[in-house]
Amino acid sequence: VVGSEGMLGVVVEVTVRLLPLPRRVELLLAAFDNVRRCADAVGALIASGIVPAGLEMMDAAAIRAAEEFAKCGYPLDAQALLLCEVDGLDADVARELEQARDLLGRAGATSVRVARDAEERRRMWSGRKSAFPAVGRLAPDYYCMDGTIPRRHLAGVLERIDALSREHGLAVANVFHAGDGNLHPLILFDAGRGDELERAERFGADILEACVAVGGTVTGEHGVGVEKLGPMCSQFGTAELEAFHALKRAFDPAGLLNPGKAVPTLSRCADYGAMRVHGGKAQPGQGRADALPLRRLWRNARARRQAAARTPAAFLNGCATMPIDDADRTEELAERVRRATATRTALRIVGGDTKRFYGRAVDAVPLELSAHTGVLDYDPAELVVRVRAGTPLRQLEALLGARGQRLSFEPPGFGDAATIGGVVAAGLSGPARVARGPVRDYVLGARLLTGDGRVLRFGGEVMKNVAGYDVSRLLAGSLGILGVILDVSLKVLPVAVGSRTLRQAVDARKAIDRLAAATQGGAPVTASHWHAGVLHVRLEGSAPALDAVAALVGGDTVEADSAARFWSDVREQRLDHFNAAHGPLWRLHVPAVAPLAALEHCTSFAFEWNGLQRWVAGLDAASAHAIARAAGGHAACFRGASAGDEVFAPLPPAMLELHRNVKHAFDPAGILNPGRLYAAL
């Protein structure tokens, strides 16, 4: 639903997660005499392991407009500037601030200054926040674009925008979210003068085409609406657009909600393709028949350019020992699926098969993906890795670790054979989920083989993308019922500079209360686990920062190697209370304040995620679902379900029907992992 622009339903209520305010916030301003050096500094900053809370870039035109409008103290002689905000614990902020100052100086900044106090920080931000109205004083009209690109292409795309400005004879000011690669070129024009409006629209389309050409998207946050329906035709092919329309029908079969928005029709794409070929003017007889092949030629040319720019071996050399399989088995897999569809043969998707216990049993012919392996793209400065689904999780983690990065949601593998496709399909997160979010928050893009043999690509390799429906994240936790994940792009983050585990004896309710107080007090709790009267808590940050907050949690420090083994055992469920020998193992996701009394008598009881995830043995299915539902949550039988039990929380009839519709949009014959999630799916 997020980013769907009202096409799928009317949102009547929303629940959001809240975070405590950081203890310390600092803002620095770096000025550059060259736009390329400023853009390159963004990549260098991210590659160093600093992930700022905010990282904004402005060019000379935007700087001058903002300074005249807001009197924010910007250097008027700068050709570009960066605003970089870091927040967190005092010691960590001080360390990152010094590191950022040094790095930006070495990257070519002509000056770097830190806001003296909260008032100066507010003033510095006021210029950026008022940049749009400020630029509005430079011309009667302006046209704001919203493309997102991989950060490594910032300098090149900005130079391309400058060239397009000269080509179209219209000025442009650039102000944008550099940390996300989310560009906001503001095209200046006068709609009352000649053909300037038409030139501005063509200029905007050219900018979005340039973003797509380097692996970006036509919109990072503003949405498509009706304005970007044309450029959507460059980002997505016919098969993807058909899938979007099928998904809309699954939610809105009568087509009543916001018709004509967000997703173009195929005929509109044909017209757009013809217009782009002929310089923005429709030609007689130019329609779908010849425009779509031309668009495919553009897409193929773009794919070749992208492939040439990606040399995984260059990224992998010296990083880690990891075999790379250059053979793409997509067509082989697609042909097997097409044959199965023709004969109505059910398929069980198999990677490492380490999570076969999870979900309902599937009696079907195996479709093996364990040979479909290899890293397709990994540039550590981008914080993104694209990898084939059969790639072993352990090997990918070794590769990332060699570059000081990680999968921050700590996915459990449950065995050395676990694959990255299984990680996404199962949607399981480890101990760090409480602080860093679930698997789906890190899925940026995916290539999917549907149940009727189509190969579709959704999302991409950029941090922000609201073009089309967010199908990539829909795959997280789908257990393979929607399609075969062929490859996936994941966001990665730097490894923490330090870690400390504290242990104390405390009852369950007091443990939850202490964890709540610690997190609200700003303690960087990245894992918690309670069982049998013993609470373990993991904090991450620099040693001085952790010294300052350890008292909020309390307890004794666990030796580093022992702590690492303990959290690995929690993640992989090697501790005894996870053993299904105690009876079916139930996982309850409930509010942290939910009552404990109904669970404490169970054969085994433990909790993680500050009390949000609770593990119990000794409950029957009806009791487990009833307890979770009464607490405002849901339950799943993680291991040892009895035949006929509802493994996952029962769905109301209307919701089950919606699930059926969505599955049918991607797997119309119902051959992929049938019944794995629910019997009716």
pLDDT classification of 296: cutoffs 50, 70, 90: very low
Kindly tell me if the per-residue pLDDT of 496 is higher than 90: yes
pLDDT classification of 278: cutoffs 50, 70, 90: low
Q: Among 86-95, 168-177, 300-309, whose mean pLDDT is lowest?
A: 300-309
- Provide the mean pLDDT of the chain: 90
Kindly tell me if the per-residue pLDDT of 298 is higher than 60: no
**Residue-wise pLDDT tens digits, 632-659:** 999 999 998 887 788 999 999 999 999 9
Rounded-to-10 torsion of CA 512, 599, 619, 655: -60
Kindly tell me if the per-residue pLDDT of 79 is higher than 50: yes
Q: Alpha-carbon distance 31 to 79, whole Å?
A: 8
**Residue-wise pLDDT tens digits, 305-345:** 344 334 343 334 334 444 455 567 899 999 999 999 999 99
Which pTM value belongs to this model? Answer: 0.92
Identify the pLDDT of residue 571: 97
Q: What proportion of the chain, given as a percentage, has pLDDT over 90? A: 85
DSSP 82-97: EEEEEEESHHHHHHHH
Instruction: Name which of 192, 180, 190, 187 is nearest 208 in CA terms.
Output: 187
Q: Alpha-carbon distance 567 to 127, whole Å?
A: 45
Kindly tell me if the per-residue pLDDT of 294 is higher than 70: no
Kindly tell me if the per-residue pLDDT of 304 is higher than 50: no
Task: Pick left, alpha or beta for residue 581 (phi over 0 → left; psi -120 to 50 → alpha; otherwise beta).
Answer: alpha
Identify the pLDDT of residue 642: 81
Instruction: Name which of 133, 152, 145, 302 is nearest 220 in CA terms.
Output: 145
Identify the pLDDT of residue 604: 84
Q: What residue type is 242 in one-letter code?
A: E
Identify the pLDDT of residue 299: 46
What mean pLDDT is predicted for residues 390-409? 96
Kindly tell me if the per-residue pLDDT of 289 is higher than 50: no
DSSP 137-151: TTSSEEEE---B--G
Q: Alpha-carbon distance 627 to 147, whole Å?
A: 46
Q: Alpha-carbon distance 656 to 663, whole Å?
A: 11
Q: What residue type is 60 in one-letter code?
A: A
Partnered with residue 83 across adjacent β-strands are 29, 56
**Residue-wise pLDDT tens digits, 508-526:** 999 999 999 999 998 999 9
What mean pLDDT is predicted for residues 199-219? 95
Q: Among 15-24, 218-227, 288-297, 426-435, whose mean pLDDT is lowest?
A: 288-297
- Residues whose CB is less than 8 angstroms from the CB of residue 332 and which lie 6 or more positions away in sequence, other chains included: none
Q: 3-state class of 162 per DSSP?
A: helix
CB 532 within 8 A of CB 478: no
CB 467 within 8 A of CB 445: no
pLDDT classification of 290: cutoffs 50, 70, 90: very low
Identify the pLDDT of residue 277: 58
Query: Per DSSP, which regions of 90-168 are E strands?
Result: 111-114, 141-144
What mean pLDDT is predicted for residues 466-487? 97
pLDDT classification of 283: cutoffs 50, 70, 90: very low
Identify the pLDDT of residue 325: 55
Greater pLDDT, 603 or 382: 382
Kindly tell me if the per-residue pLDDT of 237 is higher than 80: yes
What mean pLDDT is predicted for residues 286-306? 37
Q: What's the distance, CA 23 to chain centroid?
A: 26
Q: Alpha-carbon distance 435 to 518, whole Å?
A: 13
Identify the pLDDT of residue 327: 64
**Within 10 Å of residue 259's Cβ, how many Cβ atoms?**
10
20, burial (CB in 10 Å: exposed 0-12, middle 13-18, buried 19+): exposed
Q: 3-state class of 672 per DSSP?
A: strand
Q: Alpha-carbon distance 228 to 224, whole Å?
A: 5
Q: What's the distance, CA 319 to chain centroid?
A: 24
Q: Among 126-130, 147-151, 507-511, 639-643, whose mean pLDDT is lowest?
A: 639-643
What mean pLDDT is predicted for residues 446-475? 96
- Match 């679930």 to its residue by tokens: 438
- Match 């420090």 to its residue by tokens: 557
Kindly tell me if the per-residue pLDDT of 444 is higher than 80: yes
Identify the pLDDT of residue 672: 98
**Residue-wise pLDDT tens digits, 549-607:** 999 999 999 999 999 999 999 999 999 999 877 889 999 999 999 988 888 777 789 99
